[in-house]
Homo-oligomer: A and B are copies of this chain.
Amino acid sequence: MVTDRINDFLRATRSNEPFVVVDLDVVRDNFNRLSRALPESRVFYAVKANPAPEILALLAKLGSSFDAASVPEIEMVLAAGATADRISFGNTIKKERDVARAYELGVRMFAVDCPEEVDKIARVAPRSRVFCRILTNGAGAEWPLSRKFGCTPDMAVSVMRHAFDSGLEAYGVSFHVGSQQPDTGAWDVALEDAARVFRALANEGINLKMVNMGGGFPARYLKDVPSSQDYGKAIFGALRRHFGNRLPETIIEPGRGLVGDAGVIRAEVVLVSRKSEDPDAERWVFLDIGKFGGLAETMDEAIRYPIRTPHDGERTTPCVIAGPTCDSADVLYEKTPYHLPISLTIGDEVLIEATGAYTTTYAANGFNGFAPLKSYVI
């Protein structure tokens, strides 16, 4: 979304390199809209989506909680003014010394998906709350999750029993339906599984309290996506269906959904060329940003960002779009070429929209000598 504030900023800003600019007003709107759509759920912002201090400070002020993937992320959240009781250490893969450090910093909520991880927490973060991530299939998501995180619901019952027996608070269950999930029904299957884990443990006298419904709330890229209200309704309906009158506390962990459409990258056309003299040969458009400079999510052409040019409205032609590095993998869109104006030329500035999430932190640390993506928050 190129807001007026972003437009003003772009007009006033000269830069030799590509940069991203994030509009905090959009982040605020997204937070408020999602909070209204799911009024009973606590929002834990997924810090990894964009850990810019200004974003963390705004969300801390708005009352958000935070999902942190590492000790440095926990420290960033604390530095932004949130208290430790609003932080979940949501990575299921943690070094024991990092669990200990998080505990020292006041964090008391941890994700797990196996007994080995429970043991680490029991040893160095006694009496903390733990929740167990269960596997869902993520079908339908544009950025599908693999089986990397979570265990089967059956195993989750054992893991939570083990947590209980180890003196921890067996707090709940989490899942993730896949990032950028457009199917509002995807939560239904996962909530059914979660409810099954709740019941199995209740039969043993272990009462879970919380369901962490993860992220998956999409940013608007090229396609229209359902509104926050649609998500809210679908999710609330599924909760009712599977938990009846004993609704659990719920948590959501939006990242992309809060900051994705708040950011715009301005890049420059470095070269427009063809590979042969055949007049039908494909046009290649090379930008000064690519897979290694912040657009890693174009991997497998998964995320298709809207691209604006100074010539929009003029006649277009299909173009392959690639980045500026000497790496042949640094091609953004080739299988499904973009239609871009024929008049697009070397030196033109283009805007890549909905790039507020997973861009600055995905940027490589100087690959080909190019500096990491510059970031402004306004």
Q: Which residues of B contact A329 (CB under 8 A)?
A: 146, 299
Contact partner of A150 among B69, B155, B275, CB < 8 A?
B275
Cross-chain contact B362 with A364 (CB below 8 angstroms): yes
Contact of A7 with B by CB under 8 A:
no
Q: Which residues of B contact A299 (CB under 8 A)?
A: 299, 329
Q: Which residues of B contact A149 (CB under 8 A)?
A: 326, 328
Residue of B nearest to A73 (CB): B369
Contact of A263 with B by CB under 8 A:
no
Cross-chain contact B361 with A365 (CB below 8 angstroms): yes
Cross-chain contact B71 with A117 (CB below 8 angstroms): no
Cross-chain contact A369 with B152 (CB below 8 angstroms): no
Cross-chain contact B363 with A91 (CB below 8 angstroms): no
Rounded to whole angstroms, the CA-CA distance of A358 and B73 in the bound complex is 26
Binds B, one of A92-100, A183-191, A219-227, A307-315: A92-100
Residue of B nearest to A138 (CB): B328
CB distance from A374 to the nearest CB of B (A): 11
Cross-chain contact A292 with B328 (CB below 8 angstroms): no
Contact of A257 with B by CB under 8 A:
no
Cross-chain contact A158 with B277 (CB below 8 angstroms): yes
Q: Which residues of B contact A117 (CB under 8 A)?
A: 271, 273
Interface flags for A294-313 (1: CB within 8 Å of B; 0: not) read: 00100100000000000000
Cross-chain contact B362 with A116 (CB below 8 angstroms): no
Contact of A147 with B by CB under 8 A:
yes
Contact of A10 with B by CB under 8 A:
no
CB distance from A291 to the nearest CB of B (A): 10
Cross-chain contact B275 with A369 (CB below 8 angstroms): no
Rounded to whole angstroms, the CA-CA distance of A286 and B96 in the bound complex is 13
Given A151-B276, A362-B364, CB of A334 within 8 Å of CB of B369: no
Contact partner of A365 among B275, B331, B360, CB < 8 A?
B360
Cross-chain contact A70 with B330 (CB below 8 angstroms): no
Rounded to whole angstroms, the CA-CA distance of A76 and B366 in the bound complex is 12
Cross-chain contact A270 with B361 (CB below 8 angstroms): no
B-contacting residues, A22-56, CB 8 Å: 46-48, 51
Contact partner of A286 among B16, B71, B93, CB < 8 A?
B93
CB distance from A322 to the nearest CB of B (A): 6
Cross-chain contact A69 with B288 (CB below 8 angstroms): no
Given A271-B117, A277-B154, A331-B146, CB of A367 within 8 Å of CB of B361: yes
B-contacting residues, A137-166, CB 8 Å: 144-152, 154-155, 158
Contact of A135 with B by CB under 8 A:
yes
Rounded to whole angstroms, the CA-CA distance of A285 and B159 in the bound complex is 18
Cross-chain contact B68 with A369 (CB below 8 angstroms): yes
B-contacting residues, A60-102, CB 8 Å: 68-73, 76, 90-97
Q: Which residues of B contact A272 (CB under 8 A)?
A: 116
Contact of A344 with B by CB under 8 A:
no
Instruction: List 12 extra interface pairs beyond A94-B270, A154-B276, A364-B365, CB under 8 A.
Output: A76-B369, A91-B325, A91-B368, A135-B275, A146-B329, A148-B322, A150-B275, A151-B276, A155-B274, A155-B275, A362-B364, A365-B373
Chain A residues near B (Cβ < 8 Å) = 16, 46-48, 51, 68-73, 76, 90-97, 113-114, 116-117, 120, 135, 144-152, 154-155, 158, 268, 270-277, 284, 286, 288, 292, 296, 299, 322, 324-331, 334, 346-347, 360-373
